[in-house]
Amino acid sequence: MHRHPHSLKSLTAVVLLAAAAFAQPVSAAEPPPLSYEDDKVAMRLVLRNQEQLAGFYLGREFGAAAVDKILETCFFAAIIYNKSYDVLWLDLDHWQFQRDELTIPRLKRDYWKEQWRAIGLPQRHQSTFGWTLLPETRDLRRDESAGGNVAIPMQPEPFTLTARFHTGPNRQGPVKTIVFEDVTCPRDVQ
Amino acid sequence: MSARRPMKLLFAMLLTLLAGPVLAAQELPAGILPLDGQAAPPLRLENLDGETWDIEQVRGRWVFVHFWASWCGPCRKEMPTIQAIHEQLDPQQMEFAVINTAESEDMVFTFLGTVAPDLNPLMDTDGLVTERWQPRGLPATYLVDPEGRLRYLALGGRPWDAAEYKSFLQHLTAE
């Protein structure tokens, strides 16, 4: 790193404070994560409140219009860790969101592209946003994890997420199903 | 003797291959995937000083191509280990391309100035180079061989300063 080498030390205190702030974007107010674990897979959902979500993206210079688009949705993080020796397939199209027997459509990447086009979100922010989403599909190897955000339309009541994972190099192994019930969309914390 | 000699020769050739820079999957540290050796995508970016770096200009050396962003937790954890291994490897043997994905100069300067001040970050300002390389996520590290071929991919963040990773990189660059 070559820019302003002499100013590095003088910046240290400020930098440490800033780094600490960014390293811990989730405050103590964060609700406990929904989690599942067995000997082959671990999965958890992280539901940050809207203030925390807004803080993350505003801190990365996203405009208010972009943050509003995110907060209009039910936006939460999922983290999956493959502990098995087999390939675990993350295919978001095999995840089902339901409430009162109603299937809730997931908001896919095309939805976000359209939102960003409508508000003219700069390409670099679109790129960053894309990397904060959970991959649409991924062949998780042993000891590999994938994490990122998933979005559905805002729900007034809790919903159920049924996450199905194919296994095996060619998706021909047993299907692993993990169900999270009573998932509540993040809302403002009063 | 005539029947055994070709076998010995074959065995010797096999040993030579195994000892070469491309290791079999079972010999690799956890989370390192062998790739098929296709040509690496173009990689030409500017650093924070506005100087252009091009992977074509470092042919003949292994290249540690690393994609990261400061908002990514595993990236933050991994970066000090990259700084550590960067200090320990011969720069004539391995080049480091540490590519920030779509963040501002201030963000990169602030973060790296604290945890990895010796690394020279390349700025993928709009994120399009990262997308062309199609990493499986952030962080991601590709190891590109001296002929410019993709040889290994590290899945997620890895403790590069740990003994097994360090010796793996040293093995590559020793060839």
Q: Name the pLDDT band for A38 (thresholds 50, 70, 90).
A: very high
Please give the pLDDT value at position B4: 52
Please give the pLDDT value at position A30: 54
Instruction: Locate B79 and state its tokens.
Output: 């970066």
Please give the pLDDT value at position A5: 42
Looking at the predicted structure, is the pLDDT value of residue A26 above 50? no
Please give the pLDDT value at position A134: 97
Please give the pLDDT value at position B25: 63
Q: Is A84 within 8 Å of chain B by CB?
A: no
Return the beta strands (E) in chain A as ranges.
34-37, 41-46, 73-82, 88-91, 95-99, 102-104, 137-140, 145-153, 159-167, 176-183
Q: Cβ separation of A124 and B127 shorter than 8 Å?
A: yes
Amino acid at B32: I
Other beta carbons within 10 Å of A107 = 18
Please enumerate in sequence order all residues whose Cβ is within 8 A of that of B146, keeping only pairs 6 or more positions apart, or say none. B59, B60, B61, B62
pLDDT in tens, A64-92: 999 999 999 999 999 999 999 999 999 99
Interface with A, mutate which of B35, B71, B105, B129 (most A CBs under 10 A): B71
Q: Is A19 within 8 Å of chain B by CB?
A: yes
Looking at the predicted structure, is the pLDDT value of residue A123 above 50? yes
Please give the pLDDT value at position B22: 57
Answer yes or no: is the ipTM higher than 0.85: no
Measured N-to-C along each axis, helices A50-58 and A64-71 cross at an angle, to the nearest 10 degrees, of 150
CB-CB: which of A126, A128, A138 is closest to B69?
Answer: A128
Q: Cβ separation of B137 and A135 shorter than 8 Å?
A: yes
Q: What angle do CA A130, A132, A170 make, to 5 degrees?
A: 80
Q: Name the pLDDT band for A45 (thresholds 50, 70, 90).
A: very high
Instruction: Locate A180 and state its tokens.
Output: 């999270």
Contact A89, A72 (CB under 8 A): no
Query: Going residue by residue through chain B (175 aa), what tens digit of pLDDT does each one get?
Result: 444 555 544 544 444 444 445 566 668 999 999 999 999 999 999 999 999 999 999 999 999 999 999 999 999 999 999 999 999 999 899 999 999 999 999 999 999 999 999 999 999 999 999 999 999 999 999 999 999 999 999 999 999 999 999 999 999 998 7
Bridge-based pairing of strands B62-68 and B94-101 is parallel
Which A-chain residues 22-81 have CB contacts (< 8 A) with chain B?
22-23, 56, 60-61
Residue B36 or residue A12, greater confidence: B36
How close is the nearest chain B Cα to the Cα of A181, in Å? 27
Residue A153 or residue A189, greater confidence: A153
Alpha helices by DSSP H, listed for A24-140, are 50-58, 64-71, 109-119, 123-132
